[in-house]
Amino acid sequence: MAIRLTDVANEAGVSLATASRVLNGSARKPAAEISDRVRAAAEKLGYFPNAQAQALARASTKLVGLVVRDIADPYFSTIARGVQRGLGDSGTQLLLASTDSEPEREIEAVRSFMSQRTDAIILSGSRGLSEDAALLRLIGSYQENGGQVIVIGQPLASTGGIQIDNETTSENLAEELIRSGHRRFVVLAGDENLLTSRDRAQGFLRKLKRTGLSAVGVVHGAFSREGAYMAMSDFLRGRKSEEDAQQLCVFCVSDVMALGAIRAIRESGLRVPEDIAVVGFDDIPTLEDVTPGISTARLPLEEIGRWAGEMVLSHGEARKTVVAGTPVLRESTKLHAGNR
């Protein structure tokens, strides 16, 4: 087996307690000469503290759990990077779980993190409308036992976190688009059971209504690239050949969905933005490499993750922060003269 602290103590000719005091900042400071001997012994033997044993003896694990829907999705991987940056060199390790959008897997993940006695759990996958009772109960008991819960996205009554003001952001985005001249909108609203999805669609639609406009169409589907691809394909198939109408602008409730929609538009032989304009939401890094540049609402994804990580470290008492996105209009929503 591996080298134990006891071995190091023996090698250095000191007691277990002293070795322990030397190898981790304890209040009591052993003599310099003794310390050196212990450190030398540890080095020589190749000692590694057993984190499990430490966790058991102390009360903390220096572990934090991050729950995402899909780590390969740029939205989540960017946040994940931020979290790691936020954790910095605090020695805190990140436990990652992906849910594939399945609520039961999210519960499973939280349950597992609870077993691991993580000091904190960061929930970044958007929650559903129905405040899943089982999840809430779990979270509650986790908090009662001293666990910190940080939610990214929609706030959860009892927890701290970074709230994203999806509704207002969508309203502002709609406003900018209208100002730029767009009038005919279609909303790819994603999954109506997800808060994020719903809030973004509602905010957008509300602004339209207030401006005296109404959406040409609202299409639901999965909150993913594939979901948007299918939704858009269906929509295109369904509409009459009204090519002479004013340019359409498709608002997708996420950039990833915008990417799927564009794919569908192109496959049906149309161009973006000449035939149909497209807007997304999030401003994922991927957009930097896509042409035409896709209009969107910029969210400081990496920073959001970093804040979450920092919150964990600061043991902040359920601090809440609200972030709104900034509309960024690029080529994908450029009005095409011939289509006005």
Partner DNA sequence: CTGTTAGCGCATTCAC
Partner DNA sequence: GTGAATGCGCTAACAG
Return the one option of DNA, its own copies, none that residue 81 interacts with (CB less than 5 to 8 A, by type). its own copies
Least Å distance, CB 42 to DNA, is 10
Binding partner of 34, given its own copies, DNA, none, CB within 5-8 angstroms per partner class: DNA
User: Which of DNA, its own copies, none does residue 17 bind (CB under 5 to 8 Å by kind)?
Assistant: DNA
CA 136 to centroid of chain Cα atoms: 19
Exactly one of 10, 39, 45, 49 binds DNA (CB under 7 A); that residue is 49
Contact criterion met (CB below 8 Å) for 54 and 84: no
Sequence-distant (6+) residues with CB within 8 A of 57 are none
Judge whether 41 and 12 are in contact, CB under 8 Å. Answer: yes
Between 114 and 318, whose beta carbon lies closer to its own copies?
Answer: 114
Residue written as token pair 């006695």: 117
Query: Quick one: which segment of 53-61, 82-90, 184-192, 259-267 binds DNA (CB under 7 A)?
Result: 53-61
Q: Which is nearer to its own copies, 47 or 204 (CB)?
A: 47
- Binding partner selected for residue 158 from its own copies, DNA, none, CB under the kind-specific 5 to 8 Å limit: none
What are the residues facing 323 on neighbouring strands? 164
CB of 259 to its own copies, least distance (A): 5
CB atoms within 10 A of CB 315: 10
The length of the chain, given as a count of residues? 340
Pick from 214, 213, 188, 211: nearest CA to 201: 188
Structure-token pair, residue 259: 């990417």
Question: Could you give the 3-state DSSP secondary structure of residue 63?
Answer: strand
H or E segment at 234?
Answer: helix 225-238
Window 54-73: residues binding DNA (CB under 7 A): 54, 56-58
Interacting span for DNA (CB under 7 A) from 9-17, 77-85, 132-140, 302-310 = 9-17
| Cα dist from 328 to 178, 216, 226, 294, whole Å | 13, 23, 24, 9
Binding site for its own copies (CB under 8 A): 1-2, 46, 48-53, 55-56, 61, 70-72, 74, 77-78, 80-81, 84, 91, 93-98, 111-112, 114-117, 141, 145, 259, 262-263, 285-286, 288-291, 302
Quote the tokens at residue 105.
Answer: 């897997």
| Residue 163 binds: one of its own copies, DNA, none (C-beta under 5 to 8 A by kind) | none
> Which residues contribute to the site for DNA (CB under 7 A)?
1-2, 4-6, 14-18, 20-21, 23-24, 26, 28-31, 34, 47-50, 53-54, 56-58
